[in-house]
Amino acid sequence: MTNFSRAKWRDAKLADLVFFQRGFDITQAQQRPGPYPVVSSSGITSHHDEFKAVGPGVIIGRKGTLGEVHFCASDYWPHDTTLWSKDLRANNPRFVYYFLHTIDFQRFDVGNSNPTLNRNHIHDLSIRIPDPPIQEAIADILSAYDDLIEKNRRRMALLEKAARLLYEEWFVRLRFPGHEHTRTLGGIPERWSWLPLESVCLDREGIQTGPFGSQLHQSDYSDDGVPVVMPKNLISFRIADEEVSRIPESLAQKLSRHRMIDGDTVYGRRGDIGRRAFVSARQAGWICGTGCLRIRPDPESINPRFLFDALGSPETAGTIANRAKGSTMLNLNSSVLKSVPVLVAPRRLQDLYSDQVEPMAHLVELLSEQSQKLRAARDLLLPRLISGEITV
């Protein structure tokens, strides 16, 4: 790495690094299909056929998800819930993006019920800015980590898509190995059957919700300990554990009936019904959180991997969604899932399917672990590079 002197850093204000402008309001109904990202306080939420800001740009949450930082390489539409980089002051866009991660914008919240950030309160922040060559060097180092993480994400998405397409081919379109020689009875292949979910789960502990709110309070969470899986952690059919909440081991022992084991399915029961993830050996012992259901198959009755994917089949997923109730937020409970019908193929075919997709699932798990380590390394380096503690 090139060695630049710390004398190449200067005292400045945040407005010398980036000048923010409030975003532009647009409703979902006003949006038309197009290539330009609509960036809200939580990130890219949709696309539109018009843009308001020329990329690359840096966006931070102004309202709601306050202070969350986003980068957009292309032209984009910054939503009214954001502040966007109207002027980057000739600074490296990526450096600005990483620099803003070191600022605690939450302390500038001026909202009452809804968190709100006022750009006038942050432009005068005292900071230190390095010269452009140092900015570029720092951005290159940190971007290398993010590029590897993004490459892993794309590989994981392709592997997961391949597994879903195989399930659809065999068990939805019914083009499974040997289908040409299998008779159809009552609309399904011979020796296949619709069974209630309860019948393929373990009797007493097969389907249950996470702990009640009275058992687990916000004050119980800690920086270390046993992970607690919430609906927000169920992303792309995996447990996204980089932001998972944790509780002390002593409390986890009291909630032992909510611990998960290898082969369980954890299912989101609130809000966005249908989120689910397969629990691997690495996640055994984690807690099924309050907003989730834990489904524990009987391995003698059904292959756990097959059941996980069967829960996402169009008919079964549709039945589950239709049984969710709630005036303000959809909600499921364990009792309504018990009679949900699942199309169960012969065990030989289930196991053959599992043999095909398990290697893909294992590779996804390895890539996920690798990405987590890359994030940890990046997050350790970031503040030290941005502050000049580590020279480049």
Could you give the CA distance from residue 146 to residue 109 in angstroms, rounded to a whole number?
29
In angstroms, the Cα distances linking 215 to 247, 254, 298, 332 are: 12, 9, 27, 19
Q: How many percent of the chain have pLDDT more than 70?
A: 97
pLDDT on residue 2: 47
351-369 confidence digits (pLDDT tens):
999 999 999 999 999 999 9
Q: What are residue 43's phi and psi, to 5 degrees?
A: 120, -165
Is residue 33 reached through a cis peptide bond, with omega within 30 degrees of 0 on the bond before it?
no
**For all residues of the chain together, what is the average pLDDT?**
91
Sign of the alpha-carbon torsion through 117, 122, 128, 131: positive
Q: Which amino acid is at 269?
A: R
* pLDDT surpassing 60 at residue 322: yes
The CATH number fitting domain 131-173+346-392, selected from 1.10.15, 2.40.50, 1.20.59, 1.10.287: 1.10.287
Find the mean pLDDT for residues 38-64: 93
**Residue 288: enclosing H or E segment and its boundaries?**
strand 287-288
pTM of the model: 0.83
pLDDT band at 188 (very low <50, low <70, confident <90, very high): very high
Q: What are residue 331's phi and psi, to 5 degrees?
A: -145, 140
Q: 131-173+346-392 with 193-344: one CATH topology?
A: no
* pLDDT surpassing 70 at residue 21: yes
Is 300:287 a contact under the CB 8 Å cutoff? no
pLDDT on residue 203: 75
Neighbouring CB atoms inside 10 A of 214's CB total 6
161-177 confidence digits (pLDDT tens):
999 999 999 999 999 99
CATH of domain 193-344: 3.90.220.20
pLDDT on residue 193: 95
Please give the CATH superfamily to which domain 8-129 belongs.
Answer: DNA methylase specificity domains (3.90.220.20)
Helix 93-100 / helix 347-386 crossing angle, nearest 10 deg: 100
Find the mean pLDDT for residues 113-132: 91
Q: Domain spans of the chain?
A: 8-129, 131-173+346-392, 193-344
* pLDDT surpassing 50 at residue 1: no
DSSP-derived secondary structure letter, 247: E
DSSP-derived secondary structure letter, 168: I
Q: Which of 211-220, 260-269, 315-324 has the lowest mean pLDDT?
A: 211-220
pLDDT on residue 340: 93
**Residue 159: enclosing H or E segment and its boundaries?**
helix 132-167
Question: In the chain, helix, strand, coil percent, each to 5?
Answer: 40, 25, 35
Highest mean pLDDT among 60-69, 116-125, 142-151: 142-151
Query: Could you tell me which of 37, 20, 106, 94 has the C-alpha nearest to residue 68?
Result: 106
230-265 confidence digits (pLDDT tens):
988 898 888 887 778 899 999 999 999 999 999 999
Could you give the CA distance from residue 285 to residue 333 in angstroms, rounded to a whole number?
22
Could you give the CA distance from residue 171 to residue 309 in angstroms, rounded to a whole number?
10
